[in-house]
Amino acid sequence: MTREMTGAKMVVQALKDQGVDTVFGYPGGAVLPIYDEVFLQNDIRHILVRHEQGAVHAAEGYARSTGKPGVALVTSGPGATNAVTGLTDALMDSIPIIVLTGQVPTFMIGSDAFQEADTVGITRACTKHNWLVKDTDRLASTIHEAFHVATSGRPGPVLIDIPKDVQFATGEYRGPKPSASHYQPRVKGDLEEITELVAAMETAKNPVFYTGGGVINSGPAASQLLRELVDATGFPITSTLMGLGAYPASGKNWLGMLGMHGLYEANMAMHDCDLMINIGARFDDRITGRVDAFSPNSIKAHIDIDPSSINKVIKADIPIVGDVAHVLEDILKIWKSRGRKTDAANVKKWQAQIADWRKVNCLAYTASETSIKPQYALERLEALTKDRNRYITTEVGQHQMWAAQFLGFEAPNRWMTSGGLGTMGYGTPASIGVQIAHPDALVINVAGEASWLMNMQEMGTAVQYRLPVKQFILNNERLGMVRQWQELLHGERYSHSWSEALPDFVKLAEAFGAKGILCKDPRDLDDAIMEMLEYDGPVIFDCLVEKHENCFPMIPSGKAHNEMLLGEADTQGVIQAGGAVLV
């Protein structure tokens, strides 16, 4: 189907044809023709954010909670440069988003025109791919191709830069058709390698599944297949921060999150296993700790859709390139056809060993009757919300790790956090994107006060669209994780890791037209949380917590999985110079 229309109209038509129902954006001179077309239709809802970074994070939140690509629309120059952090965040966490940027007219490109920036140049390193469209006839096919690239293979952010004259000019619109692009990443894994993995599973004494965001990105079928495989084999399973929810936290084989602030039993199982089955994770440095001491005696299988992830950090003994759901399906098929064998006796011993590690109770903390411990706040939040239709976003820092430790996720796409880039300011706009996609759900942003302030302007968006997002701020008046590192690594010299001028969050909430709740006494906490949950509208919950609480367990930089710190008593002089240079 082809028909004549302006480039601006094409943008809206192409988005409709791609099934887009929501666009997060902010207008400006170079995208006015597109905004005119947005005004003239009712199929696509435009959400006006307060800053372009917020638009991209909101699109990420939308994408991660729905499994559909998120879309953001911003203007040229500063609009595009403000989108850079969000693009990099989506690239690191493999989130499919499409960002449309306006550009100065083609005849002015290169003249240092008003609000001109070399957008494709600037974003080349922080997108999966990007395009500058100079010809209206190619605009529609480029947008369709952009959706294909963003959502195929390892997902990621793409950007289309559209000069203003291309938006005004008319051209031929082409509808989406099956992509003729050469870009068709392989999804089926090599059956020989998969068979080798199955054979290793049959004889493994101490196996462990180590799963990541790839399971979530692969779609709900992947999580379903993972659960089937784990429960049928009885192998223990741990997950990265990105993969939480793929296997239910209430499942009997669940070890909890692994990594720098992962659970003792998860990290010990990784260190002592004889077969590690990595499914859609990438051996990030937060996971491996010291690479040369990483799980020294295990055979490592690595399933990843991106060939560059394999052998990048850790050598894979059984490399399998493919989509998680496709590969899991084949693993199950082959494992069943060979008679569903495992070394049940030894796996049982392994489970007993894990049960012993679990007794260490690594998340234990010293309770207090006078101040709210952040762990306690999250335990109560979990208890009072876990049975609800709940989505959680976070900012970045201690609160993020505590949330990962103390909140349980039973399903995929319920947990949105900035893992790879560690973007403070992610959670508030992401919570807005999630709430737009799930208007009737309970959406909570677990935040620290410092992170939260980085994109607090988006409260305006929440109020404008009546989004009942709950901003649950664990306020320790510190940059908690920075403070923790300064305590452990820099002689307790707390250089610039606190703010002496925090706002009154209750008044701030009221100024935005939201509800503010202050809680500082652990005895009031449950009632305050219930008040937040019962309020039909956006809430800023200022939870004043213990100021000097550290986040444990912790694998210090430069240490191995079995050299975890479990509490304050373990922290004296443990981080040596070699570890201090790491981040």
Partner 1 sequence: MSALHIKQGSTSHSAYNLRPTFSDVQERHTIALLVENEPGVLARVIGLFSGRGYNIESLTVAEVDHTGHLSRITIVTTGTPQVIEQIKAQLGRIVPVHEVHDLTVEGPSVERELAMLKVVGEGDKRVEALRLADIFRANVVDSTLNSFVFEITGAPEKIDAFADLMRPLGLVEIARTGVAALLRGD
Using CB under 8 A as the criterion, which residues of the chain lie in contact with partner 1 when the complex forms?
Answer: 120-121, 124-125, 128-129, 132, 149, 154, 182-183, 186, 190, 306-308, 310-312, 315-316, 319, 321
Q: How near is the Cβ of 103 to partner 1 at its closest, in Å?
A: 13
For 424, phi and psi rounded to 5 degrees?
A: -65, 140
Residue 319 vs 427, nearer CB to partner 1: 319
Q: How near is the Cβ of 94 to partner 1 at its closest, in Å?
A: 12
Taking the C-alpha atoms of residue 91 and residue 143, their distance in angstroms, rounded to an integer, is: 19
Q: For strands 318-321 and 299-304, give the pairing.
A: parallel
Taking the C-alpha atoms of residue 287 and residue 269, their distance in angstroms, rounded to an integer, is: 13
Q: For strands 170-174 and 2-6, give the pairing.
A: antiparallel
Checking phi first, is residue 234 left (phi over 0); if not, alpha (psi -120 to 50) or beta? left
Active site residue 115: yes
Residue 128 vs 515, nearer CB to partner 1: 128
Which residue, among 109, 545, 95, has the nearest Cα to 365 in the 3D structure? 545
Q: How near is the Cβ of 301 to partner 1 at its closest, in Å?
A: 12
Residue 128 vs 399, nearer CB to partner 1: 128
Q: Which pair of structure tokens corresponds to residue 300? A: 């490592």
Q: Which of 164, 470, 515, 559 is catalytic?
A: 164
* Cβ within 8 Å of residue 150, ≥6 positions away: 69, 96, 97, 98, 128, 156, 157, 158
For 243, phi and psi rounded to 5 degrees?
A: -100, 5
Per-residue exposure over 282-310, b if at least 16 CB sit within 10 Å of its own CB, e if not: bbbebbbbbeeebbeebbbbbbbbbeebb
Q: How near is the Cβ of 335 to partner 1 at its closest, in Å?
A: 22
Q: How near is the Cβ of 149 to partner 1 at its closest, in Å?
A: 6
User: Strand, helix or coil at 213?
Assistant: helix
Q: What is the DSSP letter of 297?
A: T
Are 427 and 419 in contact by the 8 Å Cβ rule? The answer is no
Active site residue 114: yes
Residue 65 vs 119, nearer CB to partner 1: 119
Active site residue 454: no
Q: Which of 68, 115, 457, 568 is catalytic?
A: 115
Count of CA atoms in the C-beta half-sphere (13 A) of 84: 15
Q: What is the DSSP letter of 554?
A: B
How many beta carbons lie within 10 A of that of residue 47, not counting itself?
23
Residue 236 vs 322, nearer CB to partner 1: 322
Q: Which of 454, 456, 481, 554 is catalytic?
A: 481
Residue 156 vs 429, nearer CB to partner 1: 156
Q: How near is the Cβ of 68 to partner 1 at its closest, in Å?
A: 21
Q: Which of 5, 13, 24, 52 is catalytic?
A: 52
Q: Which of 114, 184, 315, 333 is catalytic?
A: 114
Active site residue 409: no
- Catalytic positions are 52, 114-115, 164, 481
